[in-house]
Structure 1
Amino acid sequence: MSYTYLTTDGLSERIHYEPTTIRSVLKDSVLFEGTHYIRPFGGRKILYIWENIERDMGLSQNDSIAIPLASGGKCYG
């Protein structure tokens, strides 16, 4: 499978968030290393994997309307 790798600025253009918001708020809280981004060749540069981010953006929308229950389940009411 072929992936689309984006810099922080490239991701910013696609999801309409500021690059600083991606770096300070989304990275490591919503976007995780190994799933949503990589550091090629062990360097400092970060490349985001667009297909994985796009897939998980749709999943999080469904979870936002669920109410978490003490038993670990969710209420969709």
Structure 2
Amino acid sequence: MRDWAVARRERTRHLIELGGLVIKAGLVDLTDDDRSTLYGALLTVADRLRGEERANALALWKRKGKRAFEAEQDGG
């Protein structure tokens, strides 16, 4: 397989996984699948990560995400 095809497949898989996280977090249902709302929410997160609270936000969100993944693996 050509390098560009491998890179394209890797990128596609990455994008699908990120979309899966949006669904897993319940954002699609909570926003009635409104793409503008989802994009606005993600822009708000990005703004926070550009600010002074970056380190605190990353630490908090990482802990929360790890706990959610662990709870899912434990069955609930």
TM-score normalized by the length of structure 1: 0.36
Hey, which of these two has a bigger chunk of strand by percent?
1
Which has more radius of gyration?
2
Identify the structure with the greater helix proportion: 2
TM-score, with length taken from structure 2? 0.36
Q: Which has the higher contact order (CA 8 A, sep 6+)?
A: 1
